[in-house]
Chains A and B, each alone.
Chain A
């Protein structure tokens, strides 16, 4: 196996396969994955501001592109990633303050952040398209 060990004998961070799936490990992995996904979100947002500065034609074309079915699906994913990362980020800040480490509490807040991510994304889309 030509793994990373070929380059460096120091230990790596654990990969996915060493963990049994449970909610507190899932929220940790989702936090990292959603953060990586928000790299794309930052690009979408920057392109939106750039299109706005480029005039009505560019803005209209970019918005039409964003509102195509595939882009809407990706946008929903980015929105869910943002809502989840925000909710779980607050959970991390509480941990940094020394609060919420109890297994029962961290399991409950873990589920809460997953639900908050899903509800947040649905609310944002409802505000965007229904209001």
Chain B
């Protein structure tokens, strides 16, 4: 343990990590439960409720429930995705710079996708 960054007090206490793991665990499961409803709903609703053409999908998205459901799916899915990819990065990327860059990208990418998707859904929902 010559390279350990832990303080002697921390080592003596032996409490391990920063204890944020339970929150991550619960968030991953909570979003998973909502996604078991949101994802099948979205896929079936778009497949059965539209023919894929621009006009029919616009009409579908203008319904408040469909716009809200799509926004919820995107936000819940991206949150879940970020949590999952974070674990993959933490498991397999140990080089400090690559790890930090990957974790930052894993926060930035879902955030960017979320903003784009929410603004797009909102524009279709309220727009002409």
Contacts and interface: CB of A to CB of B under 8 A. Distances in A.
A126 to B, nearest CB: 10
Nearest to B96: A7
B117 A50 contact: yes
Given A36-B88, A43-B113, A52-B58, A128 B52 contact: yes
Given A4-B92, A86-B39, A86-B40, A46 B3 contact: no
Contact of A127 (B47, B54, B70, B91): B47
Given A4-B94, A36-B88, A46-B74, A52 B120 contact: yes
Contacts of B70: 49
Contacts, number: 94
A53 B120 CA distance: 5
Contact of B123 (A13, A53, A93, A128): A53
Interface residues of B, number: 42
Given A49-B117, A89-B32, A35 B84 contact: yes
Interface string B67-103: 0001000100110010011001001111110000000
A91 to B, nearest CB: 11
